[in-house]
């Protein structure tokens, strides 16, 4: 089966939840995952949340600096603390990995690739940083297609379906970053955060892309456990995109790149 036919054959149920309470959404996707049968249709939920800090399963309290009036919710996903709020597109893929035919590391790679291609759609070059899940942009020039350099760039992963002009800098090979060291994030801002959970070979939780937010709450935490890490959104770097448009593009990329 061709790549195009494979993508066409995989049609997850798309749920546009609008602005949804985080705890209610978390409980619902967890319950669906625990109860789903082997032939249950995969789903993709797209939403935004009212202001909330969420802690990963091994999250450290010292990364919560000053939460103030924003609630903190303990979750069962991986990773440390992050912030969700209005103006951020949150995507929750509920995928049966055994049926999809790839493992967790490949799943994470595919989600990140979906974000990279979404940013490319808006003219922005995103980057991976070794050992730090999520997607980052150059603060001095987020539109430059030049790859990050460093002797400890992460190894290349398996190939994914090309999208031609949608990847002007040459696809996955160019999106490599330096190994975390004294300052792995120098000159970078985080624009997308990723945290997942896999239960019974099925995924929940997902990825968030910052579009046009109030970024102040990120200063109340060490985002994803990294002190001093700057967080940005598309608006901050000069890309005025409506939430609905960003949500639509990210949905399309996730459907394409999470296909079996």
Rounded to whole angstroms, the Cα distance separating 31 from 11 reads 22
Express each pLDDT in 108-162 by its tens digit. 999 999 999 999 999 999 999 988 889 999 999 999 888 876 533 444 444 344 4
Rounded to whole angstroms, the Cα distance separating 257 from 260 reads 8
Measure Cα distances from 159 to 3, 61, 109, 216 in Å.
12, 38, 10, 38
Measure Cα distances from 137 to 97, 127, 187, 237, 238 in Å.
29, 6, 8, 9, 12
DSSP code, position 228: T
Active site residue: 20, 160, 224, 241, which one?
224
What is the average pLDDT score of the chain?
85
Express each pLDDT in 47-76 by its tens digit. 999 999 999 988 888 888 888 999 999 999
In degrees, rounded to 5, the angle at the alpha carbon of residue 192 between the alpha carbons of residues 190 and 194 is: 115
pLDDT of residue 9: 57
Query: SS3 for 53?
Result: strand
Judge whether residue 168 has pLDDT over 70: no
Judge whether residue 12 has pLDDT over 80: yes
Q: What share of the chain is helix, strand, coil (3-state, %, to 5)?
A: 30, 25, 45
What is the model's pTM? 0.85
Rounded to whole angstroms, the Cα distance separating 33 from 98 reads 14
For residue 47, indicate whether it is catalytic. Answer: no
Judge whether residue 213 has pLDDT over 70: yes
Domain 3-156+163-257: CATH architecture, name and number where available: 2-Layer Sandwich (3.30)
């Amino acid at each position: 089966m061709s790549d195009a036919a494979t993508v066409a054959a995989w049609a997850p149920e798309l749920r546009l939840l609008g602005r949804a309470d985080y705890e209610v959404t978390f409980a619902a996707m967890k319950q669906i995952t625990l109860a789903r049968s082997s032939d249950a249709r995969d789903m993709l939920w797209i939403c935004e949340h009212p202001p909330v800090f969420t802690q990963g399963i091994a999250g450290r309290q010292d990364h919560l600096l000053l939460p103030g009036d924003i609630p903190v919710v303990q979750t069962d996903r991986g990773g440390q603390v992050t912030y969700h709020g209005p103006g951020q597109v949150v995507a929750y893929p509920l995928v049966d990995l055994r049926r999809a035919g790839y493992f967790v590391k490949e799943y994470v790679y595919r989600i990140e690739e979906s974000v990279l291609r979404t940013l490319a759609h808006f003219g922005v070059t995103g980057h991976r940083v070794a050992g730090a899940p999520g997607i980052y942009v150059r603060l001095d020039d987020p539109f430059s297609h030049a790859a990050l350099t460093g002797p400890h760039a992460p190894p290349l992963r398996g190939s994914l379906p090309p999208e031609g002009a949608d990847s002007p800098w040459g696809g996955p090979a160019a999106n490599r970053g330096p190994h975390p060291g004294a300052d792995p994030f120098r000159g970078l801002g985080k624009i997308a955060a990723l945290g997942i959970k896999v239960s019974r070979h099925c995924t929940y939780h997902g990825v968030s892309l910052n579009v046009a937010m109030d970024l102040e709450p990120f200063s109340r935490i060490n985002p994803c456990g990294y002190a001093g890490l700057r967080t940005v959104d598309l608006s901050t770097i000069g890309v005025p995109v409506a939430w609905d448009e960003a949500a639509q593009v990210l949905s399309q990329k996730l459907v394409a790149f999470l296909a079996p």
